[in-house]
Amino acid sequence: MLFPGNYADSLEHLARAAPTDSIKARSCFLLAEYWCYTDTAKANQYLLAGERLIKASPYLKALHTFYKAFVLYDIDRQEAALKFLEAGQQLEKLPGREAMKFRARSWRNYGSLQQFKDNDLAMLDAMMNKALPIAQKANDTLLTGFIYADIGMIFMNQKLYTKAADFYRKSIQLLDLLPDKLYALLPALDNRALNFCYMDSLKQAASIINRVGSVLKSYPPSDYQLDLALTKGVYLRKSKNYHASIQVLRQAIQLADSLQNTALKFNLLIELHSTYMAMKHYPESLNILLDALKTDQYHYLDDRLQLAQKLTETYDRLNDVPNAYKWMKTYTQLQDSVYTRDFKNSISNMDTRFRLSEKEKQVALLQAANKEAALKAKNTRLSNSILIVLCLVILLAFGFFFITYRTGKKLALQKELNYQQQLKEMEQRQQIVTTEAMLEGEERERRRVARDLHDGLGGMLAGIKMKLSGHVKQLQYKEEKEQKELAGIISQLDNSVSELRRIARNMMPESLIRFGLQTALKDLCESMMSGDIRISFIAFDIDEQIDLSKQVVIYRIIQEILANAIRHSHARNIMVQCSQHSSRFYVTVEDDGIGFNKTTSGKKGIGLTNIENRVKYLNGTLDVVSAPDQGTTINMELHVAA
């Protein structure tokens, strides 16, 4: 599995600072998947951290089961298979495409685990009848392409090369559509080339081998190079270029030893044996098979069958009849076990279908019994209803006036409640209109004053500076004291102009109008930093189409918060994080300042009151978390829908 260079760092940041527990939990699960290949203990730590954030979410619970199976994949394959089945059952009850994608992945991984049990029939059933239809229904191009390649590999292992070629073609057609397709395409391309070699379609195989080789030149040694070397070795042997094939395969065997990949080393040794057999170098062929016999891969049934067949053939060519007979007997026994295994698998599948049929019959009988019981209950209810109606008719005459009185009283009370509710809603609407008018008037006045300061007073000060500069030139031959005094005045005037422009920018930042909210907030953070205070800004998925008036309100809120933090908190580091999901805008501001005690801090200041008014204007919520000497965290959720 290939991951981007900063993949783990990005996920760790989300696991700590994401706005919701759901995002934090999913980040932890992805980190568990990332570390399960190299550090199982660390993977389990992240899995446990994600489990603590699940709460009552059935979807997160299903994802935890899925990633638990992922971590167990190479540790306890029996338990991992059960967990993948459990995850599939949990996800089946949940709506949405993403749940379907994880369900398809569960079946795919379950099928892969069946291959470790030498049960290719169960793997094919899981891939073709379970994982593939679900992935197609979810419109998951990547996963569908992977499953096509898996099915192609099964058919290729069974020497059904024509069928395998069709599935590899479908896989590559899909995977080639993806933007970031490298790690997805390489295994499918390599297996397709290998399948072409077995079909003696060497021209098509050569084209794919060259394509994969050109890509892998710029990558460090990995299993991909071993796969390519195996395919290249078969291609060269089929092309009768035996010495080149031997050179490629021996180099790859050394790389497999350094990568500790015994499975691919076994396949490389078998192919090297085939090359020496084609050259009729039988002693070398035998030594290579004996090396393959020592690898861990010999424990798998299909590999034992292949090795027994090749040892029988090699000993026969060496005229070693006793050993040839011994391995022929082993081969026959293994082949019988394969047939027995397939027979048992077929019986098991038939039994499963029978059980499902029996369950369907039981469900049908239960439904019929329920319908009969429902009909009896309906008849009973009908008889009771007739008796009740007769009683009601008798009671209706006596209760008419009483009911009329109660109804009238309830209507009067309801009208009064409705009237009070309408008054309350009118008052709230009036408050909103007043607040909106106040904020809009304030922004208009800010723009007017900023424009007057910049264009009017700024221009006047610039003119005065030019005149003073000209006067300095006229006095260049006069007294040095007068020149210094004028230079000092000009310097003060420069500072005044700079301060004036800074005030004008703060009153109405030009970058907000020209470049949007994200750029304006970044500029704001940078402008408020100093030698003692560091402000970092992080933004996720901010939509630049938010209404400008709402962008201005958000900008003012963050501006006020930063100003308060700089003035009162004595913080050295401030973090501003903004993100958007649909019509909801999330803001988090954290500092490492002195903090405060909310219960004893007394009356609210003007700054916090302004912040609360603007948050209410956007129908938002504000949460302030602080304690003495522990800094302050402010979280906001704002509504920015049009």
d(CA 70, CA 37): 10
- Is pLDDT at 372 greater than 70 in this prediction? yes
CA distances, 378 to each of 146, 372, 388, 390, 617 (Å): 54, 10, 15, 19, 55
Q: Name residue 182's amino acid.
A: L
Q: Set out the domains of the chain in order of their start, with CATH numbers.
A: 515-639 (3.30.565.10)
The whole-number pLDDT of residue 344 equals 42
Identify the pLDDT of residue 364: 57
Report percent pLDDT > 70 for the chain. 78
For the chain, the farthest-separated pair of C-alpha atoms sits apart, in whole angstroms, at 122
pLDDT at residue 11 in the model: 86
Band (548; pLDDT cuts 50, 70, 90) = confident
Mean pLDDT of the residues in the chain? 81
For residue 81, which of 89, 90, 73 has the smallest C-alpha distance? 73
Task: Evaluate if residue 438 carries a pLDDT over 70.
Answer: no
Query: Which run of H or E residues covers position 529?
Result: none
CA 124 vs CA 116, 132, 187, 195: distances in Å = 13, 10, 19, 18
Quick check: 508 pLDDT over 70? no
**244 band by pLDDT with thresholds 50, 70 and 90:** very high
- Residue 353 in this model has a pLDDT that exceeds 50: no
Considering only residues 494 and 58, tell me which one the structure prediction assigns the higher pLDDT: 58
Per the structure block, which two tokens stand in for 228?
A: 């390519």
In Å, how far are 50, 243, 402, 613 from 397, measured between CA atoms? 66, 110, 10, 59
What residues have CB less than 8 Å from 256, skipping those under 6 apart?
A: 226, 262, 264, 265, 268
The answer to which of 325-334, 408-417, 438-447 has the lowest mean pLDDT is 438-447
- Of the candidates 579, 581, 571, the one whose C-alpha atom is nearest the C-alpha of residue 532 is 571
The mean per-residue pLDDT over the stretch 137-152 comes to 92
DSSP 603: S
| Top mean-pLDDT range of 54-58, 269-273, 396-400 | 269-273
Mean pLDDT, residues 274-278 taken together: 93
Q: What percent of the chain has pLDDT over 90?
A: 33
Q: How many CB atoms lie within 10 A of CB 564?
A: 20
Q: What is the pLDDT of residue 361?
A: 42
Q: What is the pLDDT of residue 178?
A: 82
Return the H-helix or E-strand segment holding 265.
helix 262-278
How far is C-alpha 31 from the geometric centre of its chain's CA atoms? 11
Name, of 304-313, 360-369, 392-401, 576-585, the range with top average pLDDT.
Answer: 576-585
Residue 569, pLDDT score:
86
Q: Which helix (H) or strand (E) holds 623?
A: strand 621-626
Low-confidence winner among 39-48, 284-293, 467-476 (lowest mean pLDDT): 467-476
**pLDDT surpasses 60 at 493:** yes
DSSP line for 213-241: HHHHTTS-S-HHHHHHHHHHHHHHHHTT-
pLDDT at 624: 92
What mean pLDDT do residues 442-452 have? 57
pLDDT at 340 over 80: no
The per-residue pLDDT for range 85-129, each reduced to its tens digit, is: 999 999 998 999 999 999 999 999 999 998 888 777 888 889 888
Region 122-150: what's the mean pLDDT?
A: 91
pLDDT of residue 431: 61
Lowest mean pLDDT among 148-152, 336-340, 390-394, 572-576: 336-340
